[in-house]
Structure 1
Amino acid sequence: MFGTSGIRGTVGEEVTASLALSVGRAVASEGYERVVVGRDPRASGAVLLDAVTAGLRECGAEVIEVGVEATPTIARAVGAYDADAGVVVTASHNPATDNGIKLWTPSGKAFGPEAREAIEERLASEEYDLRPWDGLGAKRFREDATERHAATLREAVSIEEPPEVVVDVGNGAGGITARVLADLGCRVETLNGQPDGAFPGRPSEPNRETLGTLMTVVGETDAAIGVAHDGDADRLVAVDETGAFVPKDVLLALFAREAAGEGDRVAAPVDTSLAVDDALAEVGASVTRTAVGDVYVAERATAEDVTFGGEPSGAWIWPDETLCPDAPLAACKLVELVADRGPLSALVESVSTYPIERSSIEVADKAGVMERVAERVRDRYDDVETLDGVRVDAGEGWFLVRASGTEPVVRVTAEARDEARAGELAEEATSIVAAATE
């Protein structure tokens, strides 16, 4: 039920008030006595938040409600309010038809596999610690979550010559970014700034295809940079001063190179580009690879020598600040970088990129196919990693075969420093998958 990003699905089908009530009951029954709750702007979120709050209180938990806020604002509030856990009702970058539930620890890290499994077992058994009439948990509201988060963002950066910035909030909960950048002295233009869970301005997921307006506005004005969030502002992507979309692997490389130094490591998932490895090699740092999912990146980021963690999806983690992907923080860090180092386009050009090929193969039995793929790969290659799917390091390139978490397909990714070699690796990987389906 819980993926790496929590529960998500279509409202009225996979995601219902009944499910939210049960999740609240399960969290409280697992001993989380004080819980921060909040949501993104989706209309269905109000009903689901009421339900999860009722479940928490039914089983004796004290609930601190912060209302409609960015996910990192809510996640940071867990520790700030001395709570034991946080519940965010959000479907992040999914369409308006969806909603979901994500659970957070006081460190800002999402619930890990063991904690999620405990909640799932409660849901399956329906064993809840329901309290009598005089044992119900209290609820109170806190209205200072945004200001607390904003204060930490202002302290996290120093911008001597604030540039002009365009912020595309995407009708989501990330308005804090525009507010803080303005506080820091930037001239800020906001797009799609009105919270609206129907996402009328553009689809919730920010990418090259959905950010046409942002790219045009930045390219035709004096803005030094454009930034964009998804519905709950746990993702950040960027547009340079020419209006060009910044590739996500390149953005990861820029953040990583800035955060790391000699001997440091950066946590990134198994599908991360060689561009990040090479950018870190320039400063004497390296990549430590994780399974796909910000919870795994955050877990690795707890290691003493890991100074940054990121996913090409747009999730960025500075462990000294928080273990939650904090897109408003990432926006401030990126604006600081541009103000200090010069045009974003030049920074992008300083990162070497390589040919990468991606494909999806429909299969009937993902688990069986992946088991056979792993056997064939181990027999054929020396440097094999099975942390998440099957990844082969081929020296000047690599390929990854990984089962989709949501579709009946196996995904193949191949990258190399040479285009011909990238094609060869993609063909090798595809042929292995084809043989494993026979």
Structure 2
Amino acid sequence: MFGTSGIRGRVGDEVTCALALSVGRAVAAESYERVVVGRDPRESGEMLADAVAAGLREGGADVVRVGQAATPTVARAVGWTDADVGVSVTASHNPAPDNGLKLWTATGRAFDVAQQDAIARRVREDDYDLVGADALGTESRLDDATERHVRALQSAVDADLAGLSVVVDVGNGAGGVTATVLDRLGASVQTLNAQPDGTFPGRPSEPTAEHCGSLSALVAATDADLGIAHDGDADRTMAVTADGEFLPGDVLLAIFATAAAGEGDVVAAPLNTSLAVDDALAEVGASLVHTKVGDGFVAERTEDDDVVFGGEMSGAWIWPDQTKCPDGPLAAVRLGALVADHGPLAELAADVPTYPTCRDSVEVDDKRAVMRYVADAVHADHDPGRVNDRDGVRVDTDDGWFLVRASGTQPLVRVTAEARDADRSDALAARARAYLDDAVAALESEP
């Protein structure tokens, strides 16, 4: 039921009001007594939020409604209201016909696997503790949640951005808080696709280079210092330099990480993160620790005291001293402050090395069986200290790495390889692909 980032799917098919009602009932049955509920601008969000709230109240839980708000606003509101958990009704960067549910703890961290499994079991087994009419949960509203988020960001950054010019592509989502706080910090702000509209008429919700062509063109054609792009619920932030170049996620990760970390500090990122981040952190005496793919797994690792920052190249950035939810507006204002203090974004990006990376994928009938075969073969060939099998199978070498990993949503197994030299990257990719091809052939030959 839960993927790497909550529950998501097509409305009316995988995601229904019946499911939302059941999730609300399950959350209440897990003894969460006070729950924040908010949603992104998708039209289906209103009915799904109503259904979640109804299920919560049927279980005796009190509901605090924040209405339409960015996901990091919802996550932060859990702490502001002394609630136990929060529910964001959002499909984040997914297409407009989708919606979903994401659950947040009081620290702003997404539910971990054990917490998700507990909810999924109750939904699967229809195991709830419904109350009578005299014990129904109450419902209240927090009308200033977005304003509280703005004030929190002002305090977190505490910078004078006078003279900085920024274009913010809200993507017709819930991330308007970014433009507000940048303006209050003194920046000159121009917006793009700023009207909330869950059909995403301006561009697809996911802020990729392909989808952000208008932002790149506008920044390049004006005197803007940088461009910012969010997804539908503003938990992701990507960036464009003054000349209109869309920055790769690994480069942005390295910029944020090296600004946050110092001698002896640790940064958390998924195991498909570029060597460029390791090398950039080494320059400041910090190190990288790998997690499973998914911002929830990154957030879990940021609960360790030595981790000062966590990120994922898809655009999810976490400063654990502020919140353990990926906070797109926080990332936007911190990037603006970095440019104001240290110079053009293109120069910050130029300090990050880039290395050749090979990517491939193969469609398979049984990706779990394929991955079991690959794991066995890799472990037989390599020193255990070089192998990370917590999410797929990654092998580190002296000059690079390769990863064989099953897609979380498609019948595919993906191969990624990177090295500091192009020939070596190709060689590692060939080795990884050989493991995958041998697994597919062996399974096809079985009776």
Question: What TM-score do you get using the length of structure 2 for normalisation?
Answer: 0.97
Which amino acid in structure 2 is aligned with residue 204 of structure 1? S
Q: Which residue of 1 aligns with 2:420?
A: 417
Distance in 1 between residues matched to 2:161 and 2:90, nearest whole Å? 36
In the TM superposition, 1:1-16 aligns within 5 A as: 1-16=1-16
Is 2:40–2:232's contact at 8 Å kept on the other side of the alignment?
yes
Shift of 1:159: 2.9
Is 2:35–2:78's contact at 8 Å kept on the other side of the alignment?
yes
Q: Which residue of 2 aligns with 1:43?
A: 43
Which amino acid in structure 2 is aligned with residue 38 of structure 1? G
Q: Which residue of 1 aligns with 2:356?
A: 355
Distance in 2 between residues matched to 1:393 and 1:267, nearest whole Å? 17
Q: Which residue of 1 aligns with 2:169?
A: 168
Work out which of the residue numbers 398, 401, 414 in structure 1 matches 2:401: 398
Distance in 2 between residues matched to 1:192 and 1:178, nearest whole Å? 12
Distance in 2 between residues matched to 1:240 and 1:332, nearest whole Å? 15
Backbone CA RMSD of aligned residues = 0.7
Distance in 1 between residues matched to 2:160 and 2:188, nearest whole Å? 13
* CA-to-aligned-CA distance 1:289-342 (integer Å, 9 cap, x gap): 000111111111111111100000100000111100000000000000000000
Is 2:415–2:429's contact at 8 Å kept on the other side of the alignment?
yes
The 3-state SS of whatever aligns with 1:375 is helix
Is 2:236–2:328's contact at 8 Å kept on the other side of the alignment?
yes
Q: Which residue of 1 aligns with 2:445?
A: none
* CA-to-aligned-CA distance 1:394-431 (integer Å, 9 cap, x gap): 11110001011110110100000000111111111011
In the TM superposition, 1:145-224 aligns within 5 A as: 145-162=145-162, 163-224=164-225
Is 2:241–2:345's contact at 8 Å kept on the other side of the alignment?
yes
* CA-to-aligned-CA distance 1:167-189 (integer Å, 9 cap, x gap): 00000000000000000000000
Q: Which residue of 2 aligns with 1:95?
A: 95
Q: Which residue of 1 aligns with 2:391?
A: 388
Which amino acid in structure 2 is aligned with residue 429 of structure 1? A
In the TM superposition, 1:355-374 aligns within 5 A as: 355-374=356-375
Distance in 2 between residues matched to 1:374 and 1:151, nearest whole Å? 49
The 3-state SS of whatever aligns with 1:359 is strand
Shift of 1:148: 1.1
Distance in 2 between residues matched to 1:141 and 1:320, nearest whole Å? 27
The worse-fitting range, judged by mean Cα deviation, of 161-170 and 198-207 is 161-170
* CA-to-aligned-CA distance 1:364-401 (integer Å, 9 cap, x gap): 11111101101111111221111111000011110001
Which amino acid in structure 1 is aligned with residue 93 of structure 2? H
Is 1:159–1:340's contact at 8 Å kept on the other side of the alignment?
no
- Would you say 1:22 and 2:6 are equivalent positions? no
- Would you say 1:408 and 2:382 are equivalent positions? no
Shift of 1:144: 1.2
Is 2:400–2:419's contact at 8 Å kept on the other side of the alignment?
yes
Distance in 1 between residues matched to 2:210 and 2:161, nearest whole Å? 31
* CA-to-aligned-CA distance 1:238-258 (integer Å, 9 cap, x gap): 000001001110000000000
Question: What TM-score do you get using the length of structure 1 for normalisation?
Answer: 0.99
The 3-state SS of whatever aligns with 1:107 is coil
Q: Which residue of 1 aligns with 2:120?
A: 120
The 3-state SS of whatever aligns with 1:12 is coil
Distance in 2 between residues matched to 1:109 and 1:209, nearest whole Å? 30
Is 1:223–1:241's contact at 8 Å kept on the other side of the alignment?
yes
Q: Which residue of 2 aligns with 1:434?
A: 437
Shift of 1:60: 0.5
Shift of 1:161: 4.4
Count of residues paired in the alignment: 438
Q: Which residue of 1 aligns with 2:136?
A: 136
The 3-state SS of whatever aligns with 2:278 is helix
The 3-state SS of whatever aligns with 2:120 is helix
Shift of 1:135: 1.0
Distance in 1 between residues matched to 2:416 and 2:251, nearest whole Å? 17
Which amino acid in structure 2 is aligned with residue 280 of structure 1? L
Distance in 2 between residues matched to 1:404 and 1:427, nearest whole Å? 19
Is 1:355–1:419's contact at 8 Å kept on the other side of the alignment?
yes
The 3-state SS of whatever aligns with 1:266 is strand
Q: Which residue of 1 aligns with 2:444?
A: none
The 3-state SS of whatever aligns with 1:60 is coil
* CA-to-aligned-CA distance 1:69-98 (integer Å, 9 cap, x gap): 000000000011000010010000000010
* CA-to-aligned-CA distance 1:335-371 (integer Å, 9 cap, x gap): 0000000010111111101000111111111111101
The 3-state SS of whatever aligns with 1:334 is helix
Q: Which residue of 2 aligns with 1:56?
A: 56
Runs of 4+ more than 6 Å apart: none
Distance in 1 between residues matched to 2:347 and 2:6, nearest whole Å? 37
Q: Which residue of 1 aligns with 2:104?
A: 104
Q: Which residue of 1 aligns with 2:84?
A: 84
Distance in 2 between residues matched to 1:268 and 1:128, nearest whole Å? 36
Q: Which residue of 2 aligns with 1:331?
A: 332
Shift of 1:206: 0.4
The percent identity for this pair of structures is 63
